[in-house]
Structure 1
């Protein structure tokens, strides 16, 4: 089709009706940085009580400075590994501290 111009989508078009104006279209390549659905439950604030660990499957979530001192349970595909967040972990991903594979062990008996 020579001379065919692409159609522009107007604001009143049904193609635009399902898009919300307050949410811009984001690229999927950026990835999820933080799981906003993870909410903390209130715990009894007694002397010496620790908050319950935050259970998450979001291994790609970035550790923020506000997470320091908190406990997370990160899923590795089979179980939840408990992680205590320290200052050295800020900027890394939660999945880096929850291994998904077992280490390779050398044979105890050598073949002669």
Structure 2
């Protein structure tokens, strides 16, 4: 499903806003939760195939915008999709392992 087709399908299902959570590391990335809201702000259920399409589009978008988001220490975050405008706002956190190298020298002679 294309991004435009997804927006059309979400609108047809009465979705005004979709919130999606994702997490990835060690070469595996998962779109974990998909929660949808109607124009009244109340949570609504969507069909399983539409949930799958949301997961796929979000995963593909992460690959396009933040390639490697699921590698090494990985990353996590959430995205809100405003169905009317088509805007997808990501709150993305990358986990980074950092090594700090420092050279130092001390005297091993004890004071007498």
TM-score tier by shorter-chain length is under 0.3
Larger Rg over CA atoms: 1
> Which structure has the highest helix share of the two?
2
TM-score, length basis structure 2: 0.22
Highest RCO, 1 vs 2 (Cα 8 Å, sep ≥ 6)? 2
